[in-house]
Amino acid sequence: MTVTIETVLRWRDVAKVAEGAGLSLAPAVWARVEHASKVVASIVETGVRAYGINTGVGALSDTVVDRQSQTRLSRNIILSHACGVGDLLAPREVRAIIAAQIANFAHGYSGVRPEVVRHLAAFLEKDCIPDIPSKGSAGYLTHNAHTALVLIGEGRAKVAGTPMSGGQALVAIGLSPLTLGAKEGLSLVNGTACATGLSSVGLARAERLLDWADAVAALTLEAAGCQMAAFDETVLALKVSKGMAMVGASLRKRLEGSGIIAAAFGKRTQDALSLRSIPHAHGAARDVLDNSARAVDQELASVTDNPAVSGTPQHPVVSSEAHAVSPALGLAADSLAIALAQIGAMSERRMDRLVNPLVSGLPAFLASDAGSNSGLMIAQYTAAALGNENRRLAAPASTDGGLTSALQEDFLAHPTAAANKLLAVIDNAEYILAIELMAATQAHDFLAGTASRAAGTGAIYEMVRDRVAHYADDRPLGSDMEALRALLREGAPPAAT
């Protein structure tokens, strides 16, 4: 599969490229790239003063660089900005960043030569994944620089999973190292491609997670004998929320025809809030997801590097601006991380209700022989620990601030840090929901024979039992958690019938 940039990319396109799709540009888009590169060539010829083309960068923006040194400036920017540290980003995250970077160049305001874009597209086509450390970016420069290292034959990469030097990687995919021209070094480290790519991956994972959250919650609601009146369509419509209406409809469909629910009718006046307010919390998270998606699509539709070049080769225009700074992206990633941390916290509370004999009506800790068996007692500890970690991660990165480049860059929005935190929150939330799924399935084992499950929850139960057996303190429990977390990451839950 290949995604083609006709005008602009959207976050779903970037997510497809992250998962392995190729990326190409329509002829009109290639023409935009070529035109911008000619504008930069004209600026070099005429000597018009332009940031990052014939001046230094950051606090050195007023230092003029002579023509003979402009190519060296581009290379030096790459080398000096490649300051990332820590664990490497996952391949899909690197692919997403490269896709977002190509999308930015495709607007035709960056000034890189088409050859640069072709090299980046070849990385995607031929599975060349630059080594990009995950930490060290206060904005956007560091991660992008590590991709650019491989373009010039430096750094390291993996080709089809095999580690090698940047130079060896280029040989392996049939390319030669690039000699960068004026502005190309700056363009390659500039823009919001890193945060945009990572956020696109986060959106795809969050959307899948929320689908699973609804499915897992339905299985728990059935095991708990919930009171369905709280999820009636007319009742939920009293509070206006597109997301809440969607979740309510999903729960009703999954639980339709449940004998267990019917047998519990009228058993309680109302359920605990971790059960009764599922449409409200899950729906709010879906609304936040929609808002965050709009922000990422807005960023992909925007020129995000500085300066922007426009006009014509005869009358070039260089515009210094701040489009590489993206408070909107930081706020979007932070908001979604907070929403998903809340989803995980609610899931842990539901899981606790299933294992707690004081409220569940089921064997203590869902153990087959409580006392000699601990059942899922400590699994709840794990869920609680992960929920607590997500509360810490939910602290917004976008308000961190910071001063860099000798006061020239004295406001930082931290969109890349926010996107990295979002991915970490999703990691934890996947585990928490996997633990709830394990507990809900175990609870249903004890309800077998009392009444029938709904078809919608039965499909989920069978999917789980195809992967992990009933737990009887007969094996390390962590392996079951990993298996179910993998299930949540593989794809969508079974459709409600």
What CATH number is given to the structural domain containing 131?
Answer: 1.10.275.10
Q: How far apart are the first and last CA of the chain?
A: 30
- Is 28 domain-assigned? yes
Same domain, 308 and 426: yes
Same domain, 180 and 215: no
Q: Do the beta carbons of residue 351 and residue 361 sit within 8 Å? A: no
What's the confidence (pLDDT) of residue 371? Answer: 83
- Is 300 domain-assigned? yes
Residue 4's beta-bridge partner residues? 24
What's the confidence (pLDDT) of residue 431? Answer: 98
Q: How many domains does the chain have?
A: 2
Same domain, 47 and 160: yes
Same domain, 151 and 29: yes
Same domain, 165 and 311: no
Last residue of a domain, one of 156, 190, 224: 190
Same domain, 89 and 53: yes
List 51, 431, 461, 471, catalytic entry: 51
Phi, psi of 224 (to 5 degrees): -85, -5
Computed over every residue of the chain, the mean pLDDT equals 93
- Is 131 domain-assigned? yes
Question: How many angstroms separate the CA atoms of 468 and 481, rounded?
Answer: 9
- Is 121 domain-assigned? yes
Same domain, 54 and 169: yes
What's the confidence (pLDDT) of residue 138? Answer: 72
Same domain, 414 and 360: yes
- Domain range enclosing 92: 2-190
Q: Do the beta carbons of residue 258 and residue 243 sit within 8 Å? A: no
Same domain, 226 and 88: no
- Is 497 domain-assigned? no
Q: Do the beta carbons of residue 471 and residue 477 sit within 8 Å? A: yes
Helix (H), strand (E), coil (C) string for 8-53:
CCCHHHHHHHHCCCEEEECHHHHHHHHHHHHHHHHHHHHCCCCCCC
User: Domain holding 481: CATH number?
Assistant: 1.20.200.10
Q: Is 453 helix (H, G, I), strand (E, B) or coil?
A: coil
Least Cα distance to 478 among 433, 437, 442, 431 occurs for 431
Question: How many angstroms separate the CA atoms of 277 and 279, rounded?
Answer: 6
Same domain, 304 and 179: no
Same domain, 178 and 231: no
Same domain, 270 and 330: yes
What's the confidence (pLDDT) of residue 58? Answer: 61
- Is 495 domain-assigned? no
Last residue of a domain, one of 167, 190, 213: 190
pLDDT beneath 50: ranges in the chain: none
Residues with Cβ within 8 Å of 405's Cβ and at least 6 positions away in sequence, in order, are 58, 59
Last residue of a domain, one of 190, 213, 245: 190
Phi, psi of 270 (to 5 degrees): -155, 155
What's the confidence (pLDDT) of residue 324? Answer: 86
381 tagged catalytic: no
